[in-house]
Structure 1
Amino acid sequence: MVPQPNWPHASAGPIRDTRAPITAVVVASAGMGIEGSVGDMDDEHWRRTLDVNLTGPMMITRAALPVMLERGGGSVVLVSSTNAMAAAPLSAAYDASKAGLNALARAIAVDYGPQGIRANALCPGWIITPMGDESMDELGAANGIGRQEAYALATSDVPLRRAGTAEEIAYCCLFLASDESSIVSGTTLVADGGGQAVELTSRMFAAGSV
């Protein structure tokens, strides 16, 4: 769904109307990817990917900011991806949109921190979701293996040797949204089983220990 200029305000309205003493929280979790390199990417696919992955979260946050300011603070959690930090083949628009989302979290943290609003990005790796299943089915078909074997193949270089679950990512969001992370702002939480810690080009020298 491509974001429309007015729709986030309908979601923020009920929060403003309630008198319950709750902390104002925004969790923006949307993602889509259209395969292609820069040379292959047409303008419409580029715009659509950035609309969903970057402009949409910005608009949701913008609509919620007045509520947060009225309540004296809040927390913004932007669900990004490890693709924001390491590019995948043929994922130019997706990679760029998620990198922009990380930068957006930092910008919100800097601009609204003095008003008590925190903002952070959450970067999952492979997660068992319908979107992940679709990718694994494609990988499995290309390698003659099933979905679970494809997840194992995709995470074979990840120290924990598995994909994450939606529940695990929800707990990460809960941490960033809650007062348990009250000093955490303007940063990125990576939830990928340790994948970003691996220096892949040197694995061949220590195959038995990695």
Structure 2
Amino acid sequence: MSDGFFFWYTEPFARDGVERVLGALETQGVHLAHPGSNAITVITNGPDSWGKQLQVSRAELVELLTLRDRAELNFQLWLNDETDMFTRFRRVSDRGLVVEFGLDGMWHAEREAAIRAVSLVVDAERARTFGVVVDRRGLTEEMDWDGLVLGRPVVVAEWPDVLEVRPEVAAEHAQLRSVHRNVEPPLVTYRSGADD
């Protein structure tokens, strides 16, 4: 089973953008509502409660995911009635957020289906994207990916499967300048080749 993650760094979304992303995920088989109960749940993140599931309506969740009055929001997406994908929208700057998709607890086929689905959504939103980190095994979980994607001189001790940053970040980062990369506008892409 995987302990990995997929981080998508993007500009903030208004309600229509949140709906567009959720709809695109659902088209790819990643559902907001639990397939059996149709429940849509957010996950509390303190300070009064940690990890509690609270049922909300789709409209409520869409509004919450604009992050107008909060720094982050945790919720569940579903691959099937037994496999969820813990997801977090979290502000990383005044003009950006990271959407964190947890791949932990998934079998290989589920993990690859989730990565494929999220990748297609990110590709459709590529113009607003300023970073991507995919780590199937979660080996780089302790890395300061926020810092690196935002342009700080973070040392990459262990490479993820995929790292994508804006060209100006790659140009200023000594380590990123010295390794093989592909330019896939508007991002520079680094791939480790791991896929197990």
Task: Report the TM-score when normalising by structure 2.
Answer: 0.35
> Which protein is richer in helix relative to its size?
1
Task: Report the TM-score when normalising by structure 1.
Answer: 0.33
Which structure has the larger Rg over C-alpha atoms? 1
